[in-house]
């Protein structure tokens, strides 16, 4: 099977990392090539992407989104729309984390200051600012580090808590799965993807989105109540293997083959 990957401009960070992982995981058994040589195309796209991209494709394709509808013209639809969320009408393909994040997690050495980490994006900045201001009313020894690029395993292991204050159900870019794989305690907005990632709160703390008061309480508890944090980290390490790339690769291969039959 020859696969062509199209990573479109403005694709989310989640789609970008998925494309990299898919290429690495599938290369051992399948070929990757240009669209002209491919059997199937996988498009990693932003929501409502330009239908002109697939208008003359002439091949079956899968994607995480549908092309934008155009007036008076029918768009070429994907054979399957994939999603990392279970129990939807779309095709479930599990989320994967690069193998470098797995292994024996390093234990951060205790310091004079507690550290929260997050991946920076515009939609979360307001809640982070409000929450940080509330935290500093109670504690002056907490720092909140914002990462402008994908955090490395060392980055994740250098913080006490990893936080994903996503405000949108379609925001998968919080690197929660990577933090779980790296053995870092996680606090995340209670979106569908985070509820699934954190096993409904068993392996991390789920907080109502856009609620700085609840976020403040959750972060302070996770930072300064060792037993509160430890139990969830241990539970998370028992489930982290669900993010291994081989699970996603197997599901994608089965999907591609079912379309090409």
Taking CA atoms, 125 is separated from 23, 175, 203, in Å, by 32, 16, 25
Question: What share of the chain in percent tops pLDDT 70?
Answer: 97
CB 1 within 8 A of CB 254: no
pLDDT given for residue 149 in this prediction? 96
Helix (H, G, I), strand (E, B) or coil at 114: strand
Task: Give me the DSSP letters along 122-168.
Answer: HHHHHHHHHHHHHHHHH-SSEEEEEESSPPPHHHHHTSSEEEE---S
pLDDT digits (tens, 9 = 90+) for 31-66: 999 999 999 999 999 999 999 999 999 999 999 999
Mean pLDDT of 241-246: 97
Q: How far apart are CA 22 and CA 207, in angstroms?
A: 31
pLDDT given for residue 87 in this prediction? 86
pLDDT given for residue 109 in this prediction? 63
pLDDT given for residue 71 in this prediction? 72
Q: Chain-wide mean pLDDT for the chain?
A: 94
Show the DSSP H helices in the chain as ranges: 13-26, 52-55, 122-138, 153-157, 176-182, 192-197, 212-224, 226-239, 245-260
Q: Is residue 261 exposed (0-12), middle (13-18) or buried (19+ Cβ within 10 Å)?
A: exposed
CB 179 within 8 A of CB 95: no
Domains and CATH numbers, the chain: 2-96+244-260 (3.40.50), 101-243 (3.40.50.2000)
Q: How far apart are CA 26 and CA 231, in angstroms?
A: 35
The whole model's pTM is what? 0.94
């Amino acid at each position: 099977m020859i696969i062509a990957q199209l990573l479109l401009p403005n694709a989310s960070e989640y789609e970008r990392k998925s494309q990299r992982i898919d290429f690495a995981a599938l290369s051992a058994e399948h070929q990757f090539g240009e669209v002209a040589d491919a059997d199937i195309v996988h498009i990693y796209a932003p929501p409502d992407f330009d239908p002109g991209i697939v208008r003359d494709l002439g091949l079956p394709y899968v994607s995480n989104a549908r092309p934008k509808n155009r007036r008076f013209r029918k768009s070429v639809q994907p054979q399957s729309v994939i999603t990392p969320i279970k129990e939807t009408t779309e095709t479930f393909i599990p989320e994967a984390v690069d193998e470098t994040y797995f292994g024996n997690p390093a234990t951060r050495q205790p310091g004079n200051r507690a550290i929260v980490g997050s991946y920076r994006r515009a939609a979360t900045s307001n809640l982070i600012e409000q929450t940080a201001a509330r935290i500093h009313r109670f504690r002056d020894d907490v720092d909140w580090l914002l990462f402008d690029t994908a955090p490395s395993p060392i980055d994740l292991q250098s913080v006490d808590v990893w936080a994903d204050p996503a405000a949108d159900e379609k925001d998968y870019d919080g690197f929660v799965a990577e933090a779980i794989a790296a053995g870092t305690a996680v606090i995340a907005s209670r979106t569908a993807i985070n509820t699934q990632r954190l096993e409904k709160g068993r392996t991390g703390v789920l907080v109502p989105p856009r609620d700085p008061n609840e976020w403040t309480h959750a972060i302070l508890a996770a930072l300064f109540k060792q037993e509160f944090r430890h139990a969830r980290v241990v539970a998370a390490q028992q489930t982290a293997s669900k993010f291994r790339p081989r699970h996603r690769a197997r599901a994608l291969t089965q999907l591609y083959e079912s379309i090409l039959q």
